[in-house]
Amino acid sequence: MNSKALRRSGQPLARDTRDTWFLLAIIAAVVLPHLDHLPPWASAITGLVLGWRGWLAWRGQALPGRWALVGVLLITAALTWLSHRTLLGREAGITMLVMLMALKTLELRARRDAFVVFFLGFFLVLTNFFYSQSLLTALWMLASVWALLSALVLAQMPVGQPSLRLAATQAARTTAWGLPVMVLLFLLFPRIAPLWGLPSDAVGRTGLSNSMDFGAMAEIANDDTIAMRLRFEGPVPPPEARYFRGPVLGQFNGRTWRPAVMNFPGRSDALQVSGPALRYELTLEPQRISVLPLLEMSGEQAGTMRQVESLRLSRAGELQWQAGRPITERLRLDASAYLSYRHGPQQNSLVLQNYLDLPPGLNPRSLQWAADLRRQNRFASLEEAQLTPLLVEAVLQHIRTADFSYTLAPGRYGESTPHLIDEFWLDRRLGFCEHFSAAMVVVLRAMGVPARIVTGFQGMDNLPQDGYWIVRNSNAHAWVEYWLPGRGWLRADPTAAVAPERVMRGQALRPAPGVLAGVLGQINPTLWLNLRRSWEALNNRWQQQVLNYSRQNQFDLLKQLGVSQPDWTALGQLSAAVIASLGLFGAAWSLWQRHRPQDAWSRQRGQVLRELQTLGLREAAPHQSPGAWAQLLQERFGEAAEPAARLLREQEAARYGRSASAQAPGWRERRRWLAAFRAACRPCRS
């Protein structure tokens, strides 16, 4: 009778069908986090294969032949090559691993085939951490490992139909035994780069880049995930000083802004700081660029790395802090900044010509607008040091009064004209920070004022979480720097002119809430916000105490254990001692298990077997089940053996049936049962 017939008759599914479906569900759960990184064809084939395998188990039909699987494997290998141009490397390797595990389910003919699937499943769980080490990923992978262990326990129970609950309980008990070993290895295993730098959480979500395409995005969707966390040693900087300097863009080709090409020699950014330093701890989420967005203006010693010692920091020519490679892991560092500073040349020099270039033949109306403003009578007799602040203020006043709108959905610019700045500055006047900053730089350059765009972050959450101030990806921002004689480079933020709440409160415009957030917002306006803050505080503790557990933390632990001068040698010796102790303990445990007395079930089976042999059942053997013994009793003694046979069948159901318990009965229960069995055997003796 197949599974469908069993279903119609009201009987439970056959064990093979149930276990197969359980294993397929586990595989789907393990593969699910990979869907964002797999090619679409790989996700589709995996879903089809798992669904087909489940249907075959439901119908009780035969599995496909080996040559059919070989053909599908060759097709997937060819598609992997076309997608990744290689069969090696992380992306191609994970794609092939997913496909191999899915195809392996189509040849589950023996227990060894299931063990191969378990092995691939555990390895695929590990590969999820190549993409993310977040708390949510860790919890999901922990549940996946528990489910895989439960399936492994089921495979080790060949008799009867043990329940999934029984297998899950046994898997949890086994995991609990291994948990102390895992904690010890986590605390003592050396942090060797780049093993602790492989994963990257959501690379490239911040919106920061080494280039900026004006008007390329018709709509920008805010990403409220966390970009960095800060903890200040002293007072928190005021809102107008919460600028985090990232890539500086000075070259414009009419559509795209890029870092300036220094066609004219000279040093443009000498830094002079004054006043006390503002010291803070920064935990930075992964970026897709090699620039660290540090608080303006960071001093000569930007920070000391706590986690990735191989990452070298240097201050670039335009005062942004540069790493030697893109930041693909979470970083924690100590940094300092000065709120009172000057930077850039004090007098006009040739290097400033790099920040006056404009693409020829583009945006003629904006250039004419700038020239007309510059020729006004009130500016005619002013020197450059007096003129530049007035020109900047005139441009900002134009933004305040000319019906500009700050919006995250301005539509796409440049579809009908190559003059993007003209379209924004004089026609549509809809945009977000990049539009305003780009247009202001073009206008200032047209009036002879050196200017450039600075990108980074601006603002923080209103309240700290767990002592940390939160900067989100939605705080990504762009502003303007212009040069003033005698002062150097000064900041001007046109966004503050059109949307002052964006800068003074550090708040970005929010997109429409999702369905869940909207429903919770109607029930309680602060419920969704409080839930998100609680989760982020928990996730922050995971990051600070687990993900940021570094080599220095290991050395601190050695000091607490009494090591006066902790170093790699002491850490290695302690690790070797712990591993050796665990090995000796495991060997002693195995030896004791081999020679320990029989367990409760085995002792009871021996007592029953001796009782049967006193009845003359010499054919009863230790390897037989209680049900087989019950059949032997009835064959020898007929109806007189029915009470004893019933007790044996009940014992088999209690040990191997669907409602079987992993916990053996206590000695009182075993004693009562044995007394009842001996009493039931008396009619057989007479």
Q: 405-406 and 430-431: which strand pairing?
A: parallel
What are the contacts of 458-461 at 24+ separation with CB within 8 A?
458/242, 458/243, 458/244, 458/493, 458/502, 458/503, 458/506, 459/239, 459/242, 459/502, 459/503, 459/505, 459/506, 459/507, 459/508, 460/230, 460/242, 460/506, 461/506
The rounded distance, in Å, linking the Cα atoms of 16 and 22 is 10
Known active-site residue 477: yes
Cα angle vertex 62, ends 57, 67, to 5°?
120
Q: What tokens were used for 185?
A: 């290895």
Residue of 149, 126, 146, 128 whose CA lies nearest to 137: 128
Q: In this structure, what are the phi and psi dihedrals at residue 273, rounded to the nearest 5 degrees?
A: -115, 155
CB-CB contact of 406 with 429 (8 Å): no
Q: Judging by beta carbons within 10 Å of its beta carbon (0-12, 13-18, 19+), is residue 150 exposed, middle or buried?
A: buried
Distance CA 246, CA 443 (A): 23
Longest dimension (CA), the chain: 132
| Three-class SS state of 435 | helix
Task: State how far the alpha carbon of 95 is from the alpha carbons of 122, 346, 417, 608, 636, in Å.
Answer: 15, 57, 43, 55, 62
Residue 595 a catalytic site member: no
Q: Which of 343, 493, 681, 684 is labelled catalytic? A: 493
Report how far apart, in Å, the C-alpha atoms of 162 and of each of 16, 115, 191, 623, 662 are.
12, 19, 42, 19, 10
Answer positive or negative: Cα dihedral of 322, 323, 328, 332.
negative
Kindly report the three-state secondary structure assignment for every residue of 71-128: HHHHHHHHHHHHHHCCCCCHHHHHHHHHHHHHHHHHHCCCHHHHHHHHHHHHHHHHHH
Phi and psi at residue 245, in whole multiples of 5°?
A: -80, 125
Exposure string (b/e) for 174-206, b if CB count within 10 Å is 16 or more? eeeeeeeeeeeeeebeebeeeebbebbbbbebb
CA torsion 354-250-429-208 (nearest 10°) is 180
Q: Which of the residues 223, 269, 433, 435 is marked catalytic?
A: 433
Instruction: State the virtual CA torsion across 105, 106, 107, 112 in degrees, nearest 10.
Output: 0
Q: Side chain identity at 137, as an amino acid letter?
A: T
410/452 Cα distance (integer angstroms)? 23
Looking up tokens 């080599």 gives: 551
- The single residue of 435, 477, 681, 684 carrying the catalytic annotation is 477
CA distance 390 to 376: 12
Do residues 429 and 403 touch, judged by C-beta distance below 8 A? yes
CB 153 within 8 A of CB 171: yes
List the end-to-end C-alpha distance of the chain, in Å, as a whole number: 43
DSSP lists the bridge partners of residue 492 as 480
CA–CA–CA angle 516, 517, 520 (5° rounding): 85
Q: Which residues are catalytic?
A: 433, 477, 493
